[in-house]
Structure 1
């Protein structure tokens, strides 16, 4: 369940970040629907106990993310979903917090399939020996039998981000913020424990990616990455359906 619209979440945040997080989550979760006008500056400043300067800066941040637009004498209005920047890690995280369905997860998977396999092929062409060695260490470490689902997820995420870097295309690493937010959101939906068979499967699938990169086999690296994403997506959908049945 998403946090209360104006509730405080745990952890230290600046006043600006607090306002951005709470209002952003409220918009994405539908607390403020498309076309709605947000409360006025005086009301929001009082609710958050922040200055109008902080509030205005927060609104600028939300506007830059495509969530709202400010109009003189009208107020700040929530924009249609098509304007939202889903490549923004905050927006994507708020979307996962609000709850996702199979359609949305498939859309995320489609974007990953469009990006990561090609990044793997670029890594096969460009990665240095040091890059390959580092990715192999990360892939092998994923096979540690002591992993929980959470630590396995963290290791998985680290691997994918390092691979994007190894493509030596700075745009790929920038898009990594999407991959990072997507994976973090996806991992929240996985089962709370990871069995040894699953840990071994995940590790071997990622080791295969590195092996193909090490062979400088661009097609092989692309196919190995596609396999990892597709199998992970199938498991995720199964987990989502199981959670829905259990409710």
Structure 2
């Protein structure tokens, strides 16, 4: 079967790399994230990588383009392919973000993710408070009630929790912040390190914090909404953060 063409960032059409190419891409991203190749390192020539993975040089060439699109390497004719610092990576790229989280042994990435998420969602909560109407108040209250009804089912509760946060985002009408936050949530929620371990009465604490958020937004109090959301996200992460990885040996 012929695979459909796709367009790159410049609008040019090209054929997607096959499943073998995806495997090569995943392994190279893993090697860069884990530090097997560090910033400034030159990746082996295409011919060497081709032999290593048992694939054609065309597949390797396409893989390098994908790495470049993710901001993980620079490709210069005559000088080879070099790894870039992590500050240049597209950390909102699903593969890059999920690989960083999966290899986050010290939880530093998830610490930073929680700070960024807290800032973005706090701003969105404040924006929602400025423009909330009766329909929005009802939606938030129903989202909170949906969480309360699922407090005995951890998986269902967490799903309802995410839906609550998405409701606040949508009420903020800040599409850019919502887009970024959705990516952060989508790839963090699937990580056991992000889920961590719940202390006693964790869901009850979460419900109480969400109640404060609903009250502040419903009252049209932007600053209270900002503080309530920030304290909830950072406090919730601190409660469930795995203590065994807080101070690695």
Instruction: Tell me, in whole angstroms, the C-alpha distance in 2 between the residues paired with 1:140 and 1:231.
Output: 21
Q: Structure 1 residue aligned with 2:215, among 211, 214, 223? A: 211
Aligned to 1:145: 151
Q: CA deviation at 1:134?
A: 3.6
Matches within 5 A, 1:93-132: 93-101=98-106, 103-127=108-132, 129-132=134-137
Q: CA deviation at 1:39?
A: 3.2
Q: CA deviation at 1:108?
A: 2.6
Instruction: Tell me, in whole angstroms, the C-alpha distance in 2 between the residues paired with 1:77 and 1:223.
Output: 43
**Any stretches of 5+ residues in structure 2 without a counterpart?**
1-17
My pick for the range that moved more, 20-29 or 154-163, is 154-163
**Any stretches of 5+ residues in structure 1 without a counterpart?**
1-12
Q: TM-score, normalised by structure 1?
A: 0.76
Instruction: Tell me, in whole angstroms, the C-alpha distance in 1 between the residues paired with 2:228 and 2:199.
Output: 22
CA change 1:80–1:246 in 2 (3 A) is closer
Q: CA deviation at 1:42?
A: 3.8
Q: CA deviation at 1:106?
A: 3.6
Count of residues paired in the alignment:
231
Q: Which of the pair has more CA radius of gyration?
A: 2
Contact 2:118 2:233 in 1 (8 A): yes
- Where 1:188 maps in the other structure, the secondary structure is helix
Instruction: Tell me, in whole angstroms, the C-alpha distance in 2 between the residues paired with 1:146 and 1:49.
Output: 50
Q: CA deviation at 1:126?
A: 3.0
CA change 1:104–1:39 in 2 (3 A) is same
Q: CA deviation at 1:176?
A: 1.9
Aligned to 2:239: 235
- Where 2:44 maps in the other structure, the secondary structure is coil
Q: Structure 2 residue aligned with 1:202, among 201, 206, 214? A: 206
Contact 2:188 2:194 in 1 (8 A): no
CA change 1:78–1:219 in 2 (3 A) is same
Instruction: Tell me, in whole angstroms, the C-alpha distance in 1 between the residues paired with 2:182 and 2:121.
Output: 13
Q: CA deviation at 1:67?
A: 0.8
Contact 2:34 2:103 in 1 (8 A): yes
Q: CA deviation at 1:136?
A: 3.2
Q: TM-score, normalised by structure 2?
A: 0.75
Q: Structure 2 residue aligned with 1:19, among 16, 19, 24? A: 24
Q: Deviations over 1:41-84 (max 9, x none)?
A: 34444555655444433322321222111121332211122222
Aligned to 1:172: 177
CA change 1:44–1:135 in 2 (3 A) is farther
Instruction: Tell me, in whole angstroms, the C-alpha distance in 1 between the residues paired with 2:171 and 2:51.
Output: 48
Instruction: Tell me, in whole angstroms, the C-alpha distance in 1 between the residues paired with 2:168 and 2:80.
Output: 44
